[in-house]
Structure 1
Amino acid sequence: MNTHNQNRVVITGMGVVAPNAIGVSAFAKALQQQTSGIRFDPQLADLNFGCQVSGTPQITEGLLAENFTNLQLRGLKATGLVYGVIAGKEAFKDAGLEIASPKEALSDMGIIFGTGQSGGEKFREAILLIDEKKVRRLGSTSVIQTMTSGISAWLAGELGCGNMVTSNSSACCTGTEAFLMGYERIAAGKATQMLVGSTSDSGPYIWGGFDAMRILPTKYNQDPENASRPLSNDAAGFVPGSGAGAFILESLDSALKRGAKIYGEVLGGALNSGGHRGDGSMTAPNGQAVQECIELALKDAQVKPKEIDAINGHLTATSKDGFEVKNWSQALNRSKNDFPVMNTFKSYVGHCLAAAGSIELVGTILQLKNNVVYGNRNITSLHPDITEMVSANSFPIQAVKTNINIIAKASFGFGDVNACVILKKYSV
């Protein structure tokens, strides 16, 4: 969707629940200090998973008490719902917004908050109780915990949002897709503010299928912090992660009118699919479609390839990392020393699946706001497929202070789906 000559859209609030930190300021510190949130996971070990490490957010009793009533917590087992509510409410508060009055919803504010699966633990409980013919013991919240739109519905009720309220689901692209969908709605004048983001459950019922596919690392169970190795020649598979990221997107006019702080501006973006054609499949990206998604995002944002200062990639720590860099290089027509600086946060948090795009977008926007590119952790040496195309200087190991005016963030997901967004430092 080309949204030019329509409303300018800015980011005025953020929230995050990540494996290495909870809360935006703590997350920024964790990325700066290269703190890993990947830990040994006793539950995966007890279930004989090959991969026994995970990126699981550390939710305290105090944090639960701040965000949920005792009644809400009764029987609440959907971890993704918990993460999403915490992140969404933080973003709302961070933006300085006020909850709707009891009598009237906020008609100009909507929600697009996605997830992959919801309530795996609750599903398990439901199946067992139904098999035991104890249906009435399921509890009144079993539906909202297990329906995909449960997260957006819960947040709408907490905050009183009366515009479009929905949940999207597109595998690893979910968060970036929700971000773009919210942006387009505001740019088109159909909403003034949108709470957007995504969340993903923790646990074996989400991660078991990936372990069965043997695409998770199995040799780092005693060395969890080194398990996720994007871009490295010895990358061994992605570490399963979870959490949530959330944003308040807002029309620039509204943000200025109420004196809101502005993290950055959304210039545009693109969504597409490779259709499982060419080299694309359910589990492998179509390189041509990836390149087209990047090119379409640049066109929508009216940005030239040379103007991209930094890239936050998808880069999952699999054999496809080099292929992704190649697609960026070809889409931008930039290689060797001309390639932008590039990083990924998956060495700190793992692959957070449906939450990956939104958690990583929080970090991407922090980089834009703070003029920093956080370092790439766990690179023994860059994969040779990468160094053939691009200078190693494009992949900093430590955090680097640098002026960023325009940054690109992309997510590429299971099902051969792609999302790319272009962000800019805000200026009048």
Structure 2
Amino acid sequence: MTKKIVITGIGASSPLGGNVADTWKALNAGESGARTLPHEWVEKYELPVKFAAEAKVRPTEVMERVETKRLDPVAQFAVIASREAWEDAGSPEVEPERLGVDYATGIGGLWSLLDAWDVLREKGPRRVLPMTVPMLMPNAAAAAVSMRFEARAFARTVASACASSTESLVNAYEHLQAGLADVIIAGGSESAVHPITMASFASMQALSKRNDSPETASRPYSVDRDGFVMGEGAASLVLETEEHAKARGAKIYAELAGGGVTADSYHITANDPEGRGASRAVALALAAAGASPDDVTHINAHATSTPVGDIAEYAALKVAFGDRVDGIPVSATKGATGHLLGGTGALEAIFTVLAIQSRQAPPTINLSEQDPEIPLTISGRPIDLGSGEQLAISNSFGFGGHNAVAAFRSV
């Protein structure tokens, strides 16, 4: 028997705000989290891209120093977002052996790794911190969340590039269906605004170079889009069976109705231009939700603002929905947040949940002139979704051909 899986808590630290409320308010106000980087390393390394969407509230502002010393920023953000989500869920009383963690990152503890390399080269091996490996390992965020909330059912890590945290949500859905836990903290985190990643993405012509106007640089679907904007932060969702949530009197935001995960097996960085893998992920998510393409009322698109990527996603949606796709309200929220890589899917899942709860899809900013090859229903202002039942999907696609789609239903 299929169980109904619901969301009872949400938390985030994003380029738009240090919590969900501030982030959601800024998103709907059409604000941008992209800013010129103030760090000396931008000029030191003569980086061609001088801006990014760093988290608006630094972990050091909301965490004790003793916590931050032993955690890479990627794990710090994960704990901050999970702490908010857990409190929002009412700090549920659950046996530690029935509480699980499905958490994701695309890159992991990049800062810890490269800072340690600098120390080794400049000061020798005795000065390398003994906690370096525990801080840089990709599972550090999941482990930190697990230890913070005494989650002993499992603490699993997904690393599927930009599809990572949506895949973690799909995994959590399946783990709850399988009865492996009663409550799961799921999400993703990334802190990779670093000179090496900025240089690398710029070298592959993936980043926008609008140094003179960072706040308008991420331009999904606009004819003059020229690349994505690096983002940073984390988002967490508390998931549980409806039976468990109702038994403890929890508030319920929405239902995680299903998910789909596929692989393109096409190219290490490029999407399948025919959208076969991505469209199959949509179909799998809808099948798990017991729904058809005609039931979908809203789409939170991956929409990174790259010239090729946005068109490839449209091709996939066209396969999945046919001509109807052009009439479904779409939000491309990376215009405001930038691209959080492994953390982006969880943040956009929260946006999708809040959209169907409020019956209002968030705006897509910086759309100066819509690309005629992508004739979707999008708007620079919030879109009214109507008063009926809502079924929305959130898409995430990553390097390596990873595709993950989550479906959410209003309650």
TM-score normalised by structure 1 residue count? 0.90
Residue 292 of structure 2 corresponds to: 304
Deviation at 1:154, TM superposition (A): 1.1
2:7–2:237 CA contact under 8 A, matched in 1: yes
Q: C-alpha offsets along residues 340-387 of structure 1, whole Å, 9 cap, x if unaligned?
A: 111111110111111111111111111011110111111111102113
1:34 to 25, 30, 35: 30
1:180 is paired with a residue of what secondary structure? helix
The amino acid across from 1:29 in the alignment is K
Q: SS at 1:181's partner residue?
A: helix
Match of 2:305 in 1: 317
The answer to whether the Cα contact below 8 Å between 1:268 and 1:422 also exists between their aligned partners in 2 is yes
Deviation at 1:99, TM superposition (A): 7.6
Out of 197, 206, 213, the residue aligned to residue 206 of structure 1 is 197
Tell me how far 1:53 sits from its aligned partner: 1.2
Please report how far the alpha carbon of residue 145 of structure 1 lies from its aligned counterpart in structure 2 after TM superposition. 1.1
Q: CA, structure 1 residues 133+398, in 2 after alignment: closer, same or farther (shift >3 Å)?
A: closer
How far has the Cα of 1:106 moved from its partner? 0.7
The partner residue of 1:282 within 256, 268, 276 is 268
The alpha-carbon deviation at position 209 of structure 1 amounts to 1.5
Which residue among 44, 48, 53 is the counterpart of 1:50? 48
Task: Write the mapping of 1:329-348 to structure 2, written as runs, cut at 5 A.
Answer: 329-335=318-324, 339-348=327-336
8 Å CA contact 2:70, 2:135 repeated in 1:
no
Q: Does 1:9 align with 2:5?
A: yes
Aligned-residue RMSD, C-alpha: 1.8
Q: Find out whether 1:400 has 2:400 as its counterpart.
A: no
In 1, are the aligned partners of 2:329 and 2:383 still within 8 Å (CA)? Answer: no
Alignment of 1:266-277 (within 5 A): 266-276=256-266
SS at match of 2:162: coil
- Secondary structure at the counterpart of residue 373 of structure 2: helix
Q: Which residue of 2 aligns with 1:386?
A: 374
1:182 matched to 2:172? The reply is yes
Q: Does structure 2 retain, via aligned residues, the 8 Å contact 1:75–1:139?
A: no
SS at match of 2:135: helix
Q: Residues 168 and 187 of structure 2 are in contact (CA less than 8 Å); yes or no, is this contact kept in structure 1? A: yes
| 2: CA distance, partners of 1:309 / 1:119 | 37
TM-score by length of 2: 0.93
2:150 is matched with: 160
Amino acid at match of 2:288: D
Show CA shifts across 1:54-109 (max 9, x none): 0100234xx636433x3233365x22122111111111111112588xxxx61111
Q: What is residue 253 of structure 1 aligned with on the other side?
A: 243
**Percent identity of paired positions between Structure 1 and Structure 2:** 28
206-215 or 145-154, which moves further after superposition? 206-215
Give the paired residue count: 403
Contact map agreement 2:161 2:342 (CA 8 A) in 1: yes
Kindly provide the CA deviation profile for residues 303-322 of structure 1, in whole angstroms up to 9, marking residues without a partner as x: 01111001001011112212
Deviations 1:283-309 (A, max 9, x none): 111211111221222122110111100
- 2:349 aligned with 1:361: yes
| Unmatched tracts of structure 2, length 5 or more | none
Question: Which residue is 2:84 aligned to?
Answer: 90
Cross-structure match for 1:221: 211
Aligned partners of 2:304 and 2:310 also within 8 Å: yes
1:40: Cα distance to partner? 0.6
Selected match of 2:66 from 71, 78, 86: 71
Cα offset, 1:18, TM superposition = 0.8
Residues in 1 aligned to 2:93 and 2:37: alpha-carbon distance in whole angstroms: 38
